[in-house]
Each structure stands twice: as structure tokens, then as C-alpha cells.
């Protein structure tokens, strides 16, 4: 029997087929277009996302030469916070999916803070008030798309994160569900009670029956017939929690960081909900009604900085070249880059910070810039690590890494030097998909938690260099961050 992971990320949708030993056998992927109609606005065509999700699923089983009846279950991992509002009868979205990166609701967030709601929201949902999360995006659609509010009040519209929308479309009976990892990113979900919070839903003026039913991350969600015979959808999990699970961070204090477009560090906190100020509490996963919680530090721009140097600045030909360039110089030459392109996320939460490159002299070369960019990706992770170490009571003994940019050896070594702990890279960097596969494999009875721990293989451990002057490096970074803050006010 096989397991399929469907990983719907911000830039692409991928499907991966795993055998019973956890080996990834075949994969298929398609890019998803990103629209930026105004500065700070980010949206996607939800129907394109669904269409391409079905395409990659079909392509996957054709490539592998397997049939739907050979698949024990499909697990879904998805970009989180991104919302769709669609017609309960026809499935037609009333507007594009508003993507997690979109800043259009920054003013709504300011109003929420001015109304003194931030503390109640943090206590109930574990989240900082920021345009990143779903609630203000749903509110924006209802208030700005002609006729949407009227239809929503009449029960014609429903809403959900990408997992909900995909499952509604994939299942014949149009199941309207989500799981607590996705719900915990909406700003409408009480993470202690594991229920939608009626007071917050009322506060945001969202009709409660628009929201999906919340089921366990590992559960028999429904069946899809898009591949022919019905296949069980056995797992739903937000992509960053999926990578925590896929890295088998099952014990308290185990942590992972994903270096993709953005960067997301999650630390397993077991039953505890106690993020230090500036970090988020989030649901890691739920299995048989029991939640495992996590502290999360969300960084908006990570590998996207390398993309920017390549595509917009022309400093790099490829992302990989950043490593060669960084190694051509013995240090950053005093250059620091703060990639606050869309403000700063954790632990600063400054919607008005903007990017900077500082310390430039006549001697600055593109090698220094490339090196400073990679270092910035690591410093941002350090900020979260430091907050957890000093303010949460949890100790992080090592960091598991994944995501496209974790293939960069310079970055990984610098990360180990800055954190002062081992950085562990697995052989398979697609841990998000792996987490979704593991979740649905548990539901289908293919694996149990003990077996899962044996399926992962390490590629390389990066050990901290004891001669590295951490204090000096971090001091420069901190000064640079201070200068980037509140720039766009
Ligand atoms: N060798 C590399 N060094 C640095 N950054 C890299 C490298 N390879 C890829 N990246 C960056 O990683 C990101 C792609 O990672 P991926 O995990 O596929 O992202 P996502 O899932 O967020 O789309 C891109 O932003 C790219 O610039
Ligand atoms: O699409 P990714 O993999 O960059 O992940 C996006 C996150 O889920 C946003 O919170």
C-alpha cells in the first residue's frame, strides 16, 4: 500500500507518493501564480489551486503506475492563514484567495489594537494581532466584495483556509472541515478549548455558520474519487506543523526550522501553552482529541531574499551561487541586511519596518552582499531561538532543518555557529509532505509513532565552531534591526 501527501504551498502544489517504508517514490508539482494587484496585496486564484492539486494527484499515480485502490490514504498539508470565501452550493469563490503574506488588512489590525483587544486575542488564540492571520482577511472580503456580506448573512457563503476549500471540492458530499492546526491560525479559534471562539467571531462580525467543522489532524476526513476509486483523506495539517511532525519532533523541546520563501521555527511544547512575548502559541497537531502544542516564530522573508538578489537585483545567477559567493570572503565586511520587505514578523511584529542594507563601503563586493543575505536568514532564526531560550523555560538542544534553502551548507554552518547548537539536516528535505503522509498513514493504520521515528534518515549534522565570535556578530545584527523598524509609517 502507498500513501500520498498533497502539499499545497504558496508557490507550488506538490504530490508525493510514499511506500510503506516511508520512501518517497515519485513526485509531481505545478507552480501556482501569485497576484500582487497593489503594493502589499497578495492573492491567488483558488480555482487554479484546486485544478492544479487534482492535476498533480493524477499525474502522480500515472507516473508511478499505481491505481487509486493501491493508495491507503491521502494527507493534506497546506499554506496556512490564506483564506477562501465560496458559495455553499456552487463552490464558486467570491474573490481570490487572500494569501497569508497580504498586508491589505493592516489598518483593521491597528483598529483592533486601538480597541484594546490584543491581550484577549493572544490569550485565546495564541496569536499577535497582525494582517498575517485569517480573521481580518475574511472580514475584508465580506466588507469589500459587492453582495458578499448580504449572501453570507443569508447562509449562502462559507469560508475556510486552503485545506477546507480543497477538501470541500475533493469530497463528493462537499465536507466543510478543517483541523486545529489550521484553525489555530485564523484568530478565531480558542486553542485551549480547541473550539471556535464565539466572542471573537462576533467581534469580527463573521457569521459563525460560515466556518468549517474542526476535526483531528489525524482523522477519517472523507473520501475523494478524483483518482477513480474512492481514496481516504486521512490527515489535514498546516504546512509548518506538518514539517514539525515530519521531522518527528514528537518530544517537548524538539525544534525545527524551515527555510523556504519565509522561515518558520516551531518548538514542541507538549501540553503547555506558554509562548514568550513576540512568539506565537499554536496547535502542533491533534490525534484522538489530544493536542500537542508548539511555540512558533514566523519569519516572513527568508529564501525570498535570495530570490530577490537573483531575480530583481541580478546579483546572483542561481540561488546556489549565494553559497559560492559567501565562501569567497572571510567575513561579511561589516554588511548587514534586514529583509523586512513586508514588515517584520516574530519576534518584532512591526508592520511598518522595511528592508535595509547597512555598512556599505567602497570595499563592499557582491560576495559580501550574498554572505550578509545568508547570514540574515540565520540571524532571524537566532532571534526566535534566543527568545525561547531566555523567556520560555524550554531549552533547545539541537535544531532540525528543512526547506529549499537548507541545502546551503554555508547557511547551515553559520546557523550552527550563531545558535551554538547542532543543526541537523535530514536526507529528505520535503518534510512538510512527509508530515502530511505520516498523519494520514497513522489514520490508515500503516504506521504508528514508534515506527515513524525509524523512517527518517539524517544527511548531515553541522556542529558549532567554538572559535566563532557570536556576541560581536549578534550585536551588529541587533543594531541593524533597530534601524529598519517603523520605516514606512
Ligand atoms: N542553495 C540555496 N541557497 C539559498 N537559498 C536557496 C537555495 N536554494 C533555494 N533557496 C531559496 O529557498 C526558497 C525555495 O525553498 P522552498 O522550500 O521550495 O520554498 P517554498 O516552499 O516556500 O516555496 C527560495 O526562496 C530560494 O530562493
Ligand atoms: O507556503 P510555505 O511553505 O512558504 O508556508 C507558508 C506558511 O504556512 C505561512 O504561514
pLDDT of residue 412: 98
Report d(CA 21, CA 77) in Å as an integer: 20
Q: Which residue has the cell 514528537?
A: 250
- Interface confidence (ipTM) of the complex: 0.97
Q: Alpha-carbon distance 214 to 160, whole Å?
A: 11
pLDDT at 342: 85
What residues does each domain of the chain span? 2-239
CA–CA gap between residue 363 and residue 191 (Å, rounded): 52
Determine the Cα–Cα distance for residues 214 and 181; give it in Å rounded to an integer: 10
Determine the Cα–Cα distance for residues 403 and 425; give it in Å rounded to an integer.
Answer: 10
Atom of ligand 1 nearest to the CA of 258: 17
List CB contacts of 117: < 8 A, sequence separation 6 or more: 129, 203
Q: Which is the closest atom of ligand 1 to the Cα of 9? A: 21
pLDDT at 351: 83
Positive or negative CA dihedral for 424, 428, 429, 435? negative
Q: How far does residue 91's CA lie from ligand 2's centre (Å)?
A: 24
**For position 96, what pLDDT does the model report?**
98
**Cα of 147 from ligand 2 centre, angstroms:** 30
Angstrom CA distances, 221 to 75, 170, 218, 287, 357, stand at 10, 11, 8, 13, 48
DSSP structural state of residue 19: -
Residue pair 257/240 in contact (Cβ under 8 Å)? The answer is no
Residues 399-433: b if buried by 16+ CB within 10 A, e if exposed? bbbbbbbbbbebbbbbbbbbbebebbbbebbbbbb
Give the Å distance between the CA of 412 and the centre of ligand 1. Answer: 13
Instruction: Retrieve residue 116's grid coordinates.
Output: 484594546
CA 20 to chain centre: 27
Q: Whose CA is closest to atom 3 on ligand 2?
A: 9
Rounded distance from Cα 259 to ligand 1 centre (Å): 7
Q: What is the mean pLDDT of each run of 10 residues along the chain (489 residues)?
A: 95 95 95 91 96 98 95 97 96 97 92 95 94 96 96 96 98 96 97 96 95 96 96 97 97 95 95 86 95 95 95 95 97 96 90 94 97 98 94 91 96 97 95 96 93 91 94 95 93
Residue to mutate (ligand 2; options 32, 262, 279, 403; most atoms within 8 A of CB):
262
To the nearest 10°, report the CA torsion of 337, 343, 345, 347: 70
Q: Dump the DSSP string for 283-351.
A: EEEEETTEEEEEEEEEES-SHHHHHHHHHTS-S-SSSTHHHHHHHTSSS-TT-EEE--BTBB-TTT-BT
| pLDDT recorded at residue 168 | 98
318 C-alpha vs ligand 1 centroid, how far in Å? Answer: 11
Residue 3, C-beta contacts closer than 8 angstroms, at least 6 positions apart: 17, 18, 71, 72, 73, 74, 75, 437, 440, 441, 444, 446
Q: Which CATH architecture is the domain 2-239 placed in?
A: 2-Layer Sandwich (3.30)
- Identify the H or E element spanning 268: strand 263-270
pLDDT at 211: 97
Note the ligand closest to the C-alpha atom of 181.
2
* Residues forming beta bridges with residue 266, ordered by sequence position: 256, 296
Closest to 370 in 3D by CA, of 342, 398, 413, 332: 332
Decide if 18 contacts 5 (C-beta within 8 A).
yes
CA of 80, closest atom in ligand 2? 8
Pairing of strands 255-259, 263-270: antiparallel
Nearest by Cα to 94 from 37, 53, 144, 55: 144
Whole-number pLDDT of residue 391: 85
Q: What is the pLDDT of residue 25?
A: 95
Residue identified by cell 469560508 is 159
The DSSP result for 86-126, as a single string, is EETTT--BSSPEEPTT--TTHHHHHHHHHTT-HHHHHHHHS
CB 269 within 8 A of CB 254: no
Establish whether the linkage from the previous residue to 264 is cis, with ω within 30° of 0.
no
Residues 29, 47: Cα–Cα separation, whole Å = 16
Q: And the C-alpha cell for 467?
A: 572559535
Instruction: Determine the Cα–Cα distance for residues 367 and 362; give it in Å rounded to an integer.
Output: 13
SS3 content of the chain, % helix, strand, coil (to 5): 35, 25, 40
Nearest-atom number in ligand 1 for the CA of 11 is 23
For residue 164, the model assigns a pLDDT of 98
The ligand minimizing its distance to the Cα of 316 is 1
Pocket test for ligand 2, best of 7, 14, 77, 80 (most atoms within 8 A of CB): 80
C-alpha atoms less than 13 angstroms from C-alpha of 68 in its C-beta half-sphere: 13
11 CA distance to ligand 1 centroid (A)?
11
Q: Indicate which atom in ligand 2 lies nearest the CA of residue 239.
A: 8
Residues with CB under 6 Å of ligand 1 are 9-11, 260-261, 303-304, 306-307, 319-320, 322-323, 403-405, 407-408
Q: What is the DSSP letter of 145?
A: S
Closest-CA residue to 170 (of 49, 9, 17): 49
* Cα–Cα distance for residue pair 399/427, rounded to 1 Å: 15
User: For position 265, what pLDDT does the model report?
Assistant: 97
Give DSSP secondary structure letters for 446-458. Answer: S--HHHHHHH--E
Closest CA to 406 of 429, 422, 379: 429
Beta bridge partners of 295: 267, 281
Q: Any residues with Cβ below 6 Å from ligand 2, and which?
A: 9-10, 79-81, 100, 238-240, 260-262
Q: Which three cell numbers stand for residue 247?
A: 521531522
Amino acid at each position: 500500500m502507498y500513501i500520498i501527501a498533497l502539499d499545497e504551498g504558496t508557490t507550488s502544489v506538490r504530490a508525493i507518493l510514499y511506500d510503506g517504508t516511508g520512501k518517497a517514490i515519485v513526485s509531481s508539482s505545478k507552480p501556482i501564480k501569485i497576484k500582487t494587484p497593489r503594493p502589499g496585496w497578495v492573492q491567488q486564484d483558488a480555482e487554479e489551486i484546486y485544478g492544479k492539486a487534482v492535476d498533480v494527484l493524477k499525474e502522480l499515480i500515472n507516473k508511478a503506475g499505481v491505481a487509486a485502490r493501491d493508495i491507503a490514504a491521502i494527507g493534506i498539508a497546506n499554506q496556512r492563514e490564506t483564506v477562501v470565501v465560496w458559495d455553499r452550493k456552487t463552490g464558486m469563490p467570491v474573490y481570490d484567495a487572500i494569501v497569508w503574506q497580504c498586508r491589505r488588512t493592516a489598518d483593521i489590525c491597528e483598529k483592533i489594537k486601538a480597541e484594546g483587544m490584543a491581550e484577549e486575542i493572544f490569550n485565546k488564540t495564541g496569536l499577535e494581532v497582525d494582517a498575517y492571520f485569517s480573521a481580518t482577511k475574511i472580514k475584508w472580503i465580506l466588507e469589500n466584495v459587492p453582495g458578499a456580506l448580504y449572501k453570507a448573512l443569508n447562509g449562502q457563503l462559507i469560508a475556510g483556509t486552503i485545506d477546507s476549500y480543497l477538501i470541500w471540492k475533493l469530497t463528493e458530499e462537499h465536507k466543510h472541515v478543517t483541523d486545529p492546526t489550521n484553525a489555530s491560525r485564523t484568530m478565531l479559534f480558542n486553542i485551549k478549548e480547541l473550539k471556535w471562539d464565539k466572542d471573537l467571531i462576533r467581534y469580527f462580525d463573521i457569521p459563525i455558520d460560515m466556518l468549517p467543522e474542526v476535526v483531528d489532524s489525524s482523522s477519517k476526513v472523507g473520501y475523494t474519487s478524483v483518482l477513480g476509486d474512492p481514496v481516504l483523506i486521512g490527515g489535514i495539517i498546516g504546512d509548518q506543523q506538518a514539517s514539525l511532525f515530519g521531522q518527528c519532533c514528537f518530544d517537548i523541546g524538539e525544534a525545527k526550522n524551515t527555510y523556504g520563501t519565509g522561515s518558520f521555527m516551531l518548538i514542541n511544547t507538549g501540553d503547555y501553552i506558554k509562548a514568550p512575548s513576540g512568539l506565537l502559541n499554536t496547535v502542533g497537531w491533534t490525534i484522538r482529541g489530544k493536542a500537542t502544542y508548539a511555540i512558533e516564530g514566523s519569519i516572513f522573508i527568508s529564501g525570498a531574499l535570495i530570490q530577490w538578489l537573483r531575480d530583481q537585483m541580478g546579483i546572483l545567477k542561481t540561488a546556489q551561487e549565494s553559497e559560492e559567493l559567501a565562501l569567497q570572503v572571510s567575513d561579511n565586511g561589516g554588511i548587514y541586511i534586514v529583509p523586512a520587505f513586508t514588515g517584520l514578523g516574530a519576534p518584532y511584529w512591526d508592520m511598518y519596518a522595511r528592508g535595509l542594507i547597512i555598512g556599505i563601503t567602497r570595499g563592499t563586493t557582491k560576495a559580501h552582499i550574498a554572505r550578509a543575505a545568508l547570514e540574515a536568514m540565520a540571524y532571524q532564526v537566532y532571534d526566535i531561538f534566543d527568545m525561547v531560550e531566555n523567556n520560555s523555560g524550554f531549552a533547545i538542544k539541537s535544531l532540525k532543518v528543512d526547506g529549499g534553502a537548507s541545502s546551503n551548507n554555508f547557511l547551515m554552518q553559520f546557523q550552527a555557529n550563531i545558535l551554538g547548537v547542532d543543526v541537523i539536516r535530514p536526507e529528505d528535505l520535503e518534510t512538510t509532505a512527509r508530515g502530511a503522509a505520516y498523519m494520514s498513514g497513522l489514520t490508515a493504520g500503516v504506521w504508528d509513532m514508534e515506527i515513524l521515528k525509524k523512517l527518517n534518515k539524517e544527511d548531515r549534522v553541522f556542529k558549532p565552531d567554538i572559535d566563532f565570535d557570536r556576541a560581536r556578530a549578534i550585536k551588529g545584527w541587533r543594531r541593524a534591526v533597530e534601524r529598519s523598524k517603523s520605516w514606512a509609517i
